[in-house]
């Protein structure tokens, strides 16, 4: 596995709509593992392929010590809203308040080629929505309010 370079805001790859993954092969599985290692090395809770310069629809998330490798995600329902503080590996030293759905149902393919439906809420739901935005070329700073410099307090409730 390898720690990859993180692309930061201003890099055009972060503005592109990513392509679906068509075949889950060795290359894709290695990329998922490298994304995970990069995420752990930078103490992130999620990472999307465009953040390492790859315009493909795949995301790795780790919430509550459970890792999710998410390929071709599709958020099929959303419920409620919630405002909380977010930061992003691609926007170092910035944080801001983002409104997201409180609960989501997401359909995706696992690295073992299985179709899966996951019901997520709280931080996991927020994180998946943030990462899926990356796949659509959207950064949290495009939608956040009260953007400030400094380190985000992840999971801290704000007004």
Binding site for Co ion (CB under 5 A): 88
By C-beta, is 24 or 52 nearer to Co ion? 52
By C-beta, is 7 or 111 nearer to Co ion? 7
CA 74 distance to own-chain centroid: 13
| CB-based closest residue to Co ion | 88
By C-beta, is 117 or 155 nearer to Co ion? 155
111-117: which pairs have CB atoms within 8 A and are 24 or more residues apart? 111/24, 111/28, 111/29, 111/32, 111/69, 111/71, 113/24, 117/76
Q: What's the closest the beta carbon of residue 23 comes to Co ion, in angstroms?
A: 26
Nearest to 144 by CA among 91, 105, 106: 91
DSSP label at 139?
-
Q: What's the closest the beta carbon of residue 89 comes to Co ion, in angstroms?
A: 6
Active-site residue, selected from the candidate residues 19, 74, 79, 131: 131
Q: What's the closest the beta carbon of residue 109 comes to Co ion, in angstroms?
A: 21
Active site residue 19: no
Coil, strand or helix: which one is 14? helix
Please identify every residue annotated as catalytic.
131
């Amino acid at each position: 596995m390898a720690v990859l370079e993180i692309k930061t805001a201003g890099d055009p790859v972060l503005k592109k709509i990513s392509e679906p993954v068509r075949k889950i092969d060795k290359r894709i599985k290695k990329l998922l593992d490298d994304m995970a290692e990069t995420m752990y090395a930078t103490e992130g809770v999620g990472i999307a392929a465009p953040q390492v310069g790859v315009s493909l629809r795949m995301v790795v998330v780790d919430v509550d010590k459970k890792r999710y490798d998410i390929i071709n995600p599709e958020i099929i329902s959303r419920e409620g809203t919630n405002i909380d503080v977010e930061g992003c590996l691609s926007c170092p030293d910035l944080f801001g308040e983002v409104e997201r759905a409180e609960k989501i149902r997401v359909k995706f393919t696992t690295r073992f080629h299985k179709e899966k439906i996951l019901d997520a809420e709280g931080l996991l739901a927020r994180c998946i929505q943030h990462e899926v935005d990356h796949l659509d070329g959207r950064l949290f700073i495009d939608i956040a309010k009260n953007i400030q410099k400094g380190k985000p307090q992840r999971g801290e409730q704000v007004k």
